[in-house]
Amino acid sequence: MIKGLLTSIVLIGLRAGMLLGLVSDEPVSTTEEYVNLAIAQVDKYVNVRKEPNTDCEIVGRMYNGSVAQILATAGEDSDWLQVVSGNVEGYIKEEYFICGEEALQVIDEYVTRYVLVEADRLNVRKEPDVQSKKISYLNHDEKVKLLEDCGDWCKVLYADEKEGYVSAEYVMIVEEYVYAKSIEEERAEQKAREEALARQKALEAEKQQSAEQNEEPKAEPNTEYATNDELRQNIVDYAMQYLGNVYINGGKSLETGTDCSGFTCFIYRDFGYSLSRTPSGQYSSDGRNIDYADAKPGDILCYSSNGTSCTHVALYIGNGEIIHAANSRKGVIIGKAEYSPIIAVKNIID
């Protein structure tokens, strides 16, 4: 069985007793704070029942490591616990839990910690030092996994499972626990999985159809033009026929698939221009820099995912739009030119 999704966020300074609503206005000892804490210890899951017996209705399931608040004991031998966990309230045999002080000793094993960015934009650095190299950035309200709390710095796992450091001054550390799932929640998740599978199959069929269509010969580039504006439009028209093609990292063909810089490089190659094969090369060596306000169809827009170097390029088609080999999931698409910060506009033609 799949473990329950993490469904609750609380400040790291709040411990499990507070999480479960066990804190009152009166001072309490650590033991009192955790006396009603329970953690499920099962191979896969245990059923939560409406009444304290195995013959009654199942109202939910608690997965291994999910956290609950004990409301009361029940059953003839007081061997059932009435619990509340997430949106589920019901009864489970006591034997499936560790409770109280024992649960307190292991609670940290059942919590995942994240940092929540409070700044508008926060640099991710290679080392925990303001002088260290910036390797990426996080946006406001973005949440990434915390690997280590280093005091003034937090070591985090950000995009593509990469590690880096962010200043603790600009983040909030939060905790997420696993809770029980109600039967209704599980049915909704199963329905969502089935719908996602259906969408995936439809997408694969669409890609297959697109691939079959792309087997048809493409129009040759129109290299006859009277003005540079006509040439620019010819370049855009030529690029548009590859809309929907697949993205292949390092790919060597417009027909069978290529990446972002291959797309712009090969488009221009077919019109007699020699461009660098990499985003950084097109950014640093090709054409001349102009302002975005002066961009025309056929110009190359340069983007950065790490704030320091060019990591993506696209062909401007006018009216604030681009055509580009976006990624392996989307392929060649049309999008908004300002979907991401533009670090340069390269005029290749004039």
CATH of the domain at 235: 3.90.1720.10
pTM for the whole thing? 0.45
Of residues 298, 155, 135, 149, the one with CA closest to residue 228? 298
Q: What is the pLDDT of residue 13?
A: 29
Q: What is the pLDDT of residue 294?
A: 96
In a domain, 167, yes or no: no
**Does residue 167 contact residue 155 with C-beta atoms inside 8 Å?**
no
Q: What is the pLDDT of residue 215?
A: 56
Task: Order across the sheet with 342-347: list the strands.
Answer: 288-290, 342-347, 300-303, 312-318, 321-327, 331-336
Q: Which amino acid is at 266?
A: F
Of residues 266, 205, 279, 202, the one with CA closest to residue 256? 266
Inter-helix orientation angle 260-269/228-240, to 10°: 130
Q: What is the pLDDT of residue 161?
A: 79
In a domain, 303, yes or no: yes
Structure tokens at 317: 């088609």
| Domain span holding position 281 | 222-347
In a domain, 251, yes or no: yes
* Token pair 């960015």 in the structure block, residue: 117
Rounded to the nearest 5 degrees, what angle is found at the Cα of 318, between the Cα atoms of 316 and 324? Answer: 30
In a domain, 93, yes or no: no
Q: What is the pLDDT of residue 8?
A: 33
Q: What is the pLDDT of residue 262?
A: 97
In a domain, 250, yes or no: yes
Q: How many helices (H) and strands (E) does the chain have?
A: 7, 22
In a domain, 207, yes or no: no
Q: What is the pLDDT of residue 203?
A: 79
Instruction: Please state the φ and ψ torsions of residue 151, each to the nearest 5 degrees.
Output: 85, -100
Of residues 328, 263, 87, the one with CA closest to residue 186? 87
In a domain, 37, yes or no: no
**Distance (Å, rounded) from C-alpha 143 to C-alpha 173?**
9
**Distance (Å, rounded) from C-alpha 286 to C-alpha 279?**
10
Up-side HSE of residue 150: CA atoms within 13 Å toward CB?
15
Total domain count, the chain: 1
Q: What is the pLDDT of residue 29?
A: 42
346 forms bridges with which residues in the sheet?
Answer: 289, 300
Helix %, strand %, coil % for the chain, to 5?
25, 35, 35
In a domain, 32, yes or no: no
3-state secondary structure (DSSP) of residue 161: helix
State the burial class of residue 166 (Cβ atoms within 10 Å of its Cβ: 0-12, 13-18, 19+): buried
Given CA atoms 266, 269, 273, 276 in this order, what sign does their dihedral have?
A: positive
111 forms bridges with which residues in the sheet?
Answer: 177
pLDDT truncated to tens, each residue of the chain (350 aa)? 323 333 332 322 233 333 443 333 343 344 455 578 899 999 999 999 999 999 999 999 999 999 999 999 998 888 999 999 999 999 999 999 998 888 888 888 888 899 999 999 999 999 999 999 998 889 898 899 999 999 999 999 987 778 999 999 999 999 888 899 999 999 999 999 999 889 888 877 776 776 665 555 678 899 899 999 999 999 999 999 999 999 999 999 999 899 999 999 999 999 999 999 999 999 999 999 999 999 999 999 999 988 789 999 999 999 999 999 999 889 999 999 999 999 999 999 99
Q: What is the pLDDT of residue 31?
A: 47
**Does residue 297 contact residue 236 with C-beta atoms inside 8 Å?**
yes
Q: What is the pLDDT of residue 212?
A: 60
**Distance (Å, rounded) from C-alpha 198 to C-alpha 145?**
30
Q: What is the pLDDT of residue 89?
A: 96
